[in-house]
Chain A
Amino acid sequence: MLKITIHNEGQAPSFVVEGKLVGQWVNELERCWESVLASEPSWAMVVNVAEVTFIDSEGKELLTRMRRQGARLVSAGCLMNAIVAEIEAEVKKEEQSWVYRP
């Protein structure tokens, strides 16, 4: 089961994702994400994945794409903390490689 909760209060929309972020449901989350992003472009969007119980490589790739687009990932628990830490490290590394060095 996958549950997506979209909050659109305050300045930035936020997503709460619960359950299994695997297989075909990854595309559904991406579709929702793109749809909200299209109507409310925001760099400060929060994606709470604290209640994700299982995630596959496609799910991780989607979270990485979201992070690259400026989303802030909120996690809890060993599994999701580790996944989000990996994503943060990967994105940080990419950002550092973009720094202009004359």
Chain B
Amino acid sequence: MGLQTIADANNKLNGFRRAVVLSDDAPAPMNETVELSIDSKLELVGPVESLAKSVSAKLGFDEEDAGWIELAVREAVVNAIKHGNHYLADKRVDVQFLVGQDAMTIHVRDCGEGFDPTRLPDPLDPENLLNPTGRGILWMRTFMDEVEYSAHPDGGCVVRMRKYKRSSKKQI
């Protein structure tokens, strides 16, 4: 469809200018990595939680999602210290935050032998409802959009979690 008048042309041009200005104001695409490596000590979970919350807030996650991410990371790191490294201080837990434009991916690696998540007891089973432990993986799966477990080629178990920003959830 052609432009009928000079006013039409000006409107079109102004729209284009606005689009250019908006794209200049938009945050730059982020593809950064921040890693944190800690001894297997529960008192060092705090810095990891704090980093998770702050990185997710910077990426633009709202306070609620940033809180869920923080909790999921906490669960993963506590599991790595407790079940993966059996509290052995010389064994490390490596946490990697991969910050993308529309999602954050978190890898938590321990030095353990790994495990089969399908063989864990179901925390929703009425028999396990009063069990004080065993809900960490359920929470991680509830709070994050993707959760996967794998063995690291150099040893240890890696949990990979991903959370998409609300605006990009249609891409899941």
Interface residues of A (CB under 8 A from B): 1-9, 24-25, 27-28, 31-32, 35-36, 38-40
Contacts and interface: CB of A to CB of B under 8 A. Distances in A.
The majority secondary structure among interface residues of chain B is mixed
Nearest to A38: B46
Given A8-B89, A9-B39, A31-B51, 18 more contacts: A1-B33, A2-B33, A3-B35, A3-B36, A5-B38, A6-B39, A6-B44, A8-B38, A8-B39, A9-B90, A25-B32, A25-B34, A28-B51, A31-B50, A32-B51, A35-B46, A35-B50, A39-B43
Contacts of A1: 32-35
Nearest to B33: A1
Contacts, number: 60
Interface of B: 32-39, 41, 43-44, 46-47, 50-51, 54-55, 58, 89-90
Contacts of A28: 34, 51, 54-55
A53 to B, nearest CB: 14
